[in-house]
Amino acid sequence: MKKIPINLPLIGKEEQQIVLNVLKSGVLTNKSGQGPMVHKFENNFSNYIGCRYAIATNSGTSALHAALLALDLKPRDEVIVPSFTFVATATIILHVHAKVVFADIEPETFTLDPIKINKVISKNTKVIIPVHLFGHPADMKPLIEIAEDKNIFLLEDACQAHGSEYRGKKSGNLSDAACFSFYPSKNMTTGEGGIITTNNEEFADKIRMIINHGENKAYNTIRLGHNFRMPEISAAIGIEQLKKLPEFINKRAKNASYFNLKLNNINELRLPIEKKWAKHSWYMYTLTIKDKNIDRNLIVKSLNDSGIGAGVYYQIPLHLMPFFQKMKIKNDDLSITEQISKKVFSIPVHPALSNEDLDFINEKLQTIIKKQNE
């Protein structure tokens, strides 16, 4: 039986050759965190995003961690995040000994609802982290207004949003800073890796120290840091992947358009939305169950049994996970988050899909829904 994964990295001869070149050079990393490949990748990525600085890290999680460390938060300081996201968005707050505050999401884009944020802001709120979930950017204009009015740092979690845009501007250049992940499932990959983008020179300088043991020069640590450096091989892969990113996103968008057309006749499903002010980068094609008589988990199981890598992201919101249940987390009503987590599922939309794959996924999903209605 043919297997169609939910996501698949596309690694070509270009990536293979540049990795071989790095191996032959013998320069696999750099003590300062800026070997020749890392330096080139950072420059290329900042140019792509349209920002002044990009600092590469060894994962998206370490990018988020370093960004919060650079803000020198205190134990009483609060960071507002959605509960409907990957766990790292919230756990990194605890790693810097600040307080997690959950806010609810908008039901169409699954991103932070600015109205709900206003209900949980306090005098201790220091950071808001909107997540551009599944490749659709959060509505940043009202978030920027809130942040500027209350002097709150706005940090985009763009780990799933490479190439997405908000009002004609790329995600990652919409706020004080942003973090990306290059995990193999993402729109582009470095194997493992991440990057922080910003236009703030002082912030960028802090990040460079933090990712390299807090050093401002060799063997001179002036603040708490980690080894969050990106290796040269990872950066080399990223150089070639970034060249292909526009093509990858175009193919994802074409695949999404195919599903929008073919699945539009299924009244039991709500198709993913792309707001007029947004360019979706289609990290995931996420459908929402509208009919309470339709079993979401049975759909996913049936698709999986057919070899289609459908999945549920995120079945358990963070505030309902055992780890967070043990803590006294401040939050307002999270009813939209809880409703959405029970209704959504994702199907493959990645650029490796063939026309035959697309037809197969469509036919299987149509058949499964029809059977549940019988």
- pLDDT score recorded for residue 170: 98
pLDDT score recorded for residue 32: 73
Q: Checking phi first, is residue 119 left (phi over 0); if not, alpha (psi -120 to 50) or beta? A: alpha
Amino acid at 23: L
Q: Please give the pLDDT value at position 77.
A: 98
pLDDT for res 143: 98
Residue corresponding to tokens 């299924």: 266
pLDDT digits (tens, 9 = 90+) for 27-70: 998 877 679 999 999 999 999 999 999 999 999 999 999 999 99
Model confidence at 331: pLDDT above 80: no
Res 328 pLDDT > 80 = no
Looking at residue 212, the DSSP 8-state letter turns out to be: B
Q: How confident is the model at residue 292 (pLDDT cuts 50, 70, 90)?
A: confident
Strand partners, 261: none
Mean pLDDT of 103-120: 96
pLDDT at 152 over 90: yes
Asked if residues 48 and 181 have their Cβ atoms less than 8 Å apart, the reply is no
Tell me if 351 sits within 8 A of 255, measured CB to CB. yes
pLDDT category at 349 given cuts 50, 70, 90 is very high
Token pair of 311 as six digits? 């999945």
What are 175-199's pLDDT values in tens digits?
999 999 999 999 999 999 999 999 9
71 contact partners, CB below 8 Å, separation of at least 6: 96, 126, 127, 153
Q: pLDDT, tens digit, for every residue of 204-261?
A: 999 999 999 999 988 999 999 999 999 999 999 999 999 999 999 999 999 999 999 9
CA nearest 81: which of 154, 2, 11?
Answer: 154
CA distances to 151, 156, 195, 250, 317 from 173, in Å: 18, 9, 13, 21, 27
pLDDT at site 260: 98
Phi, psi (deg, nearest 5) at residue 277: -90, 5
Residue 345 has pLDDT above 90, yes or no: yes
Q: What is the CATH number of domain 13-103+110-241?
A: 3.40.640.10
Domain parsing of the chain, residue ranges: 13-103+110-241, 246-373
**26 dihedral zone (left: phi>0; alpha: psi -120 to 50; beta):** left
**So what's the pLDDT on residue 373?**
80
pLDDT tops 90 at residue 75 = yes
Q: For residue range 153-181, what is the model confidence (pLDDT) as tens digits?
A: 999 999 999 999 999 999 999 999 999 99
Q: Are strands 78-82 and 285-289 parallel, antiparallel or unpaired?
A: unpaired
How far is CA 291 from each of CA 57, 131, 368, rounded to the nearest angstrom? 43, 27, 14
pLDDT at 49: 98
- Superfamily designation of domain 246-373: Aspartate Aminotransferase, domain 1 (3.90.1150.10)
CB 183 within 8 A of CB 60: yes
Q: Which of 176, 180, 216 is nearest to 200 (CA)?
A: 176
310 against 292, higher pLDDT: 310
DSSP codes of every residue in 41-65 = HHHHHHHHHT-SEEEEES-HHHHHH
pLDDT at 2: 82
